[in-house]
Structure 1
């Protein structure tokens, strides 16, 4: 495994980071908790020291599973990245900016973006309890909240750093203007944004800004939630309540199939999977610090970590670049 410094911090994170969205179950057709814990253990055994989660993932379940999986582990050797700012129940339900309706047990649950100072303090304490730890390595705004001034949110995170509750502050899904506004108050460690072979929009402005300001880029959905594995073109199916039934519809299926057809012989020649090739390609792109990869079981976790052993030649990078011109 390779480790990279995150922006302006002293955090050295594993280039492949365990993404804990799917193990929360909601929006992903459920989960098997023992498999999820085994996946985290297998990741750590393979050198994946960094775990990215959030309160919203499974309405707290993802954080709880991460906390449970880390019992008995050396906390100083694992970096926990979590988030705040999505609310759905309790005293803050309905506050902030309406986001969307999530689903749990067939019931629609309205989710709001809410990043007020009071809510940040509340959420951090809840996360610390679920994660069974007394500090968070990187705390991130999950989504921009138009109802709360950005400086209020950043001031609250600066206060949490001073208190030792968090080691570094980051954001997710911030555009260029939001980053510039935030950095008037605090030097951000990172911006977590979607990035994949099919979605390279951040290359235009976000990546250059990050490079100029010593800010890390955390890439999520590098496999487009499994689409770039190719398995959903070969008979794999999704549960009815899996959000990917709709998510995959944004892509041109024939173009994606053609891309996978280009990637398959390259991967086969290296005796690796297409997903490993895609993950490794993502880690090699300019400005990308770490890449999130989810795993529901130990086998997937080992495969994800193994992506770092893949070597891609300049000629192969050019072949891939040519194929990506279709997007």
Structure 2
């Protein structure tokens, strides 16, 4: 199962389908094949693994899968039927399928006489697909809001310059977090002022997965904007309403969106109650002035403050990454501290 999880993590993140891996073992425990789901419309992990063995070679085999085999016909057929037809004798899976349209594979397999064992490393599998699972529950894409700031909460100096408040380790972490989302969003103000690329990079190298670049607002992009060179087409949302942006992201096939700003856009998402996770990179510096990370988010009194539950704190070079979620939200408890990056983030006005 750990190998299946490793395989799953190589699949694209942030889309309408989960990351899934499969290991196919022979009756004697030998490795027959491995499979991974590579995105919407491609074979599911089980079908991918089965396609790598000759006909009849999977009779009596065990399929170890990170997600309950689907029992749904969409762009591909149900994995439950494919496993039964191949003669697989046992299926071990980690996470039950939270999608009511696809669930039921375990029941179909058992009814066909296949031994089914569920829940192996379920917590790790659920963590891998947390945003995808949450998007099913929420009925909309998962929203992460991110900014980088000085200790006094400023995202830029008085003249508007902001490169760089945080250090190289924090920025690298941010790019990895971009790549873990289906879309990345800024407002037209940030797009025009900072000319961001909105790509996910490791140094100068583009990471394998690139989120859909989304620009929210009424103004047009400059003809020579860096966004025109993004490897994926820019999704323009001609509105000021964050709900319109979330709907457009869902229609574009993403189950999560990374909101980088600037402050007007981040504040609009916060005020609308659309933020599921907050990532704040804090640099040990002071800037003063009025370039604050957020503006009005609908908190008139201290009694109305938006309480967050700390989930993680990481030290990244000289900077800190604070990960928090609205109190009472799933996964909002259990503070974890670490000197390691763990995973990624970005900032609204650091320009790219």
Same fold (TM over 0.5): no
Q: Which has the higher contact order (CA 8 A, sep 6+)?
A: 1
Q: Which has the larger radius of gyration?
A: 2
- Which is richer in strand? 2
TM-score by length of 2: 0.29
- Which is richer in helix? 1
